[in-house]
Structure 1
């Protein structure tokens, strides 16, 4: 399976909430770089910290946080960049913007992820401190 195929499986699993599929392609030692200056920002080490952050994001958004589109998958060695759009809603606030997910894939597993937001201030305001 190519790294682009793994990245496509990751996006599909996130979009459908398929925890088993995510668990099969994300390394237990995952390093996750969450952008911004909000309550979820910073480096998360391991699948446990990532899972806790993702669960809290879903709770904060009433389950509305989603990757709405994945437009392109671009590969360079063990890196795959994905052009995405993401959104969420809560208490009258809306988050909707393009971004880039950059995955580092080693031996068929996602070992590191960097997220990039096109409007970090909007994202920080939405998620809060």
Structure 2
């Protein structure tokens, strides 16, 4: 299975809201690097922590957080995807940004993800 296929499985699980399938796409020691200076920032290690982190984004946005992959390309075990993510929170300007997610794949699972937002300062304000 190619690295881009592994990331495709991740994307399908996210789109379906299938948390068990999503967790299965990560290595046991996978690291999700959430950039910024807000309450959800930091490194989240392991499938359970990553799924819990994504769940916290859903809670903070009252279930409105959405992630759409626009394109993907691979180089060896690295995959870069362009994404659009949106969310709403009461009392805060809606979040609607593009970004790049970079995945490092080991075997048939994701070992690491780095996120790059088009406007990190606005994202920091949104998540609080």
Q: Same fold (TM over 0.5)?
A: yes
Aligned residues: 127
In the TM superposition, residue 92 of structure 1 has moved relative to its aligned partner by 4.5
2:16 maps to 16
In the TM superposition, residue 103 of structure 1 has moved relative to its aligned partner by 0.6
5+ residue gaps, structure 1, are none
In the TM superposition, residue 3 of structure 1 has moved relative to its aligned partner by 1.1
Measure, in 1, the Cα distance between the counterparts of 2:48 and 2:23.
Answer: 11
1:87-126 counterparts in 2 under 5 A?
Answer: 87-93=86-92, 94-126=94-126
In the TM superposition, residue 52 of structure 1 has moved relative to its aligned partner by 2.3
5+ residue gaps, structure 2, are none
Superposed CA deviations along residues 59-113 of structure 1, whole A, max 9, x for unmatched, are: 000111111x322111111100000100001115310000111010001000101
In the TM superposition, residue 15 of structure 1 has moved relative to its aligned partner by 1.8
Q: TM-score, normalised by structure 1?
A: 0.92
2:74 partner SS = strand
Measure, in 1, the Cα distance between the counterparts of 2:71 and 2:100.
Answer: 10
2:21 partner SS = helix
1:64 maps to 64
Q: TM-score, normalised by structure 2?
A: 0.93
Decide whether the 8 Å contact of 2:19 with 2:51 is kept in 1: no
2:36 partner SS = coil
Is 1:127 matched up with 2:127? yes
Q: CA RMSD in A?
A: 1.2
Segments of 4+ in structure 1 off by > 6 A? Answer: none
2:28 maps to 28
